[in-house]
Structure 1
């Protein structure tokens, strides 16, 4: 005795879907009918869709492609392959547009059934199924399933079992920059994220993108240094120690020894044979030579942290030698711009969080796909303990500070370490992967030195012609650096190229401890305190790197190390990476902290925590 399997007709499919409160576009209905699923499989599909957080009770070919491909593929009778969908879909288009006679009965059935149901979003009885150009745009079915892109999996070593491994996928030879379409991973979650109940509240407070025109003239270099001095002087003049400040030309005209104060930019710093420091300062009016003696212990200990181009208050004693008519300022104290110790933050009432990551390096052979997939699962509330899932559900904003892609020609022989050698394809891949972030999470991207913008800072936002897919996802694209308000929390986004320079110039700092390096940025109120090092500076109309407005959070990357801490009430975060150790990182002695996003709760107070995607999630 054999058991027959009932294959529902188009009418039966539509009846069943409508009775379950599910709308479906004509093209998606024809596609579903061609899968040849039975009644029981249809019930399971409806159940799976109902538990999906992405489902809005409407099925189109676009939503099948974007959100529910895996659900439908589970009920193909293990006979339908993705590479066959294209031919089936093309044959449907031919049947609909060029051979109405063959589809006449099917169309008639659709129209008849639609008259019995008013729940269909696009009334089939009023649609001309032959007019593809008009109706495809109306029903959002213009994308074919075969347009889903797949990036070959890089060869990595990770002490964990493969996550979402598709055995049918293969690694392709990417020497010519070719890559296969990606099948987006989708799975269901019954958890309702609290962040989905709130609309994003984002304001761009500072973004240099539209103001970076420069001709590279010497006058422009002088202008940006002058602007830096003026801004930092205004900050210093608000400090209580600023009373009695004179300009340097006024001090140079004094003929008697006297206590003096002035604001100066460091020109040079030299240590004498007797271990004293000779420091030359300047302001727009002139220059002067100052001396720091070991007897002034407090000031002497500060000198290693004093870098060229720092702007500070100098409190000292002008020593005038009447016999030789020579003058020198004996320094008693040096006051940095710094920030008030009691920085106040306007916290929101909503119990939300900000997720901070950087250095994803999509397109690199060293990119850690399995770790990224774990991050996607976490931020979609699919994995973890109840506490971890609840925390993930609070995430309203995702900030990425640079090196989104690995770039092209960033360093010699980089092509040997690239999985995707086309910069456009790298950003296309990026858009594919970021499309898996929940829609209710607002993504903000600031570029780094590997991205398709100039290496010199300040840098503009990644342009639309290069990364159209990111703009299509409604991602907030800003320059480097930028200051954004996220539900009232002022967040400074800077890739952090100057961190290595700071670590090389100040004794005691190292690349494994980004927090103490970032403190020097706040101490100097400048993101690139010293000019002329490895960090390239662009001569633009003003200095965008001055921290004239104190942020609540300073977020950097670049070092591929995770570290955070509070300084004067400001949260400083360097957020690690999603890339294995490269030769460059090895040359710097950096062992990367990959897969460690920093989640910051923003209600009542800033509460940061690092999630180790490899070991913490259950």
Structure 2
């Protein structure tokens, strides 16, 4: 992207607008070096007068502004400007396809039922995986294990509600739909002990236990869910997708210098021959959540923010994302810090 075009896009972003990709292409087509600034000024004037005020600058608005200024198509502002010639991925057609759109299907009001539905869904899915295995398919319930009498054996799937470690013992509070119990894991069985040390809260697991007193069960075996074998799909040509996540623009710990180096690498300006070869083949950039740090996501978040305004966070983020080369498809996936998703209380 040339310096003139970079300034033009920056002016639009600083005015509080976002640009659709087609609007950018139209700006490139209609804006000559000598007319780019007047065109941008006219676009901003028309956008500011529109009712309601738009959030995004579209291609139609750029076309109307060009017609108002009577701009005919002419030599365009150069947008490559890297001095490396055409890059491999530039000549490859994008094959990006949305196979599922969750718009309107995901969300939460923050009510208790939403949390219950989330955890129950996960518990049910993990239970189904255990019941497909030969060694765990005969699982009962916590109630069955507690009803077995002293030294009675139990086999069940449960979720870990709490974990406490004390000396050479680990206490797991586990729960299923019907009941709750405490499971004791001692170091007398090293393999079970080591498995228990890796367990975290909210994890779903299969337990074989022996009944002790009250609601205390002693673990004799713990089985963790296995990740099914998965053969990744591969493209029939050498194009790459780059995954970036948890950028957190606006936070005091946003790694601005490191992110700048990533942008430089994507442009082909950073790295040795092998790294430049890889960046030349990048066709897709996926930003997997938390592009900005957000506002009010957790108590006293304001003390961790360098930019305490959500709109300014997105303006800065848009500038950074705008530096990604134009031939790369950018996919933004919202996370719990992003403004389009209601943050869950923490």
State the TM bucket, normalised to the shorter chain.
0.5 to 0.7
What is the Cα deviation at residue 451 of structure 1?
3.2
* CA distance 1:336–1:198, shift in 2 (3 Å): same
Equivalent in the alignment of 2:219 = 331
Equivalent in the alignment of 1:211 = 105
Matches within 5 A, 1:250-261: 250-255=144-149, 257-261=151-155
Matches within 5 A, 1:302-321: 302-318=195-211
Task: Establish whether residue 394 from structure 1 lines up as the match of residue 281 from structure 2.
Answer: yes
1:198 & 1:219 partners in 2: Cα distance?
A: 47
1:377 & 1:270 partners in 2: Cα distance?
A: 47
Normalised by the size of structure 2, how large is the TM-score?
Answer: 0.67
* Divergent runs of 4+, >6 A: 131-134, 137-141, 364-370
Q: Check the 8 A contact 1:189/1:382 in 2, yes or no.
A: no
Task: Establish whether residue 244 from structure 1 lines up as the match of residue 129 from structure 2.
Answer: no
String of CA shifts for 1:143-188, please: whole Å, max 9, x gaps: xx9xxxxxxxxxxxxxxxxxxxxxxxxxxxxxxxxxxxxxx99624
- Gap regions ≥5 residues in structure 2: 1-24, 43-62
- Gap regions ≥5 residues in structure 1: 1-59, 74-81, 91-130, 146-183, 458-534, 537-618
2:220 & 2:235 partners in 1: Cα distance?
A: 44
1:214 & 1:456 partners in 2: Cα distance?
A: 9
Equivalent in the alignment of 1:200 = 94
String of CA shifts for 1:508-562, please: whole Å, max 9, x gaps: xxxxxxxxxxxxxxxxxxxxxxxxxxx73xxxxxxxxxxxxxxxxxxxxxxxxxx
Task: Establish whether residue 378 from structure 1 lines up as the match of residue 265 from structure 2.
Answer: yes
* CA distance 1:359–1:296, shift in 2 (3 Å): closer
Aligned residues: 295
Q: Check the 8 A contact 1:62/1:140 in 2, yes or no.
A: no
Q: Check the 8 A contact 2:144/2:154 in 1, yes or no.
A: no
Larger C-alpha radius of gyration, 1 or 2? 1
1:207 & 1:263 partners in 2: Cα distance?
A: 33
Equivalent in the alignment of 1:288 = 181
1:345 & 1:370 partners in 2: Cα distance?
A: 32
1:254 & 1:364 partners in 2: Cα distance?
A: 54
Q: Check the 8 A contact 2:107/2:342 in 1, yes or no.
A: no
- Secondary structure of 1:242 counterpart: coil
The counterpart of 1:229, out of the listed 123, 129, 143, is 123
RMSD of Structure 2 on Structure 1 (CA): 4.2
Matches within 5 A, 1:330-479: 330-340=218-228, 342-362=229-249, 374-408=261-295, 411-413=301-303, 417-418=306-307, 422-448=309-335, 450-454=337-341, 456=343
Q: Check the 8 A contact 1:448/1:455 in 2, yes or no.
A: no
What is the Cα deviation at residue 134 of structure 1?
8.3
String of CA shifts for 1:459-487, please: whole Å, max 9, x gaps: xxxxxxxxxxxxxxxxxxxxxxxxxxxxx
Equivalent in the alignment of 1:63 = 28
What is the Cα deviation at residue 432 of structure 1?
3.8
Task: Establish whether residue 276 from structure 1 lines up as the match of residue 166 from structure 2.
Answer: no
What is the Cα deviation at residue 205 of structure 1?
6.0
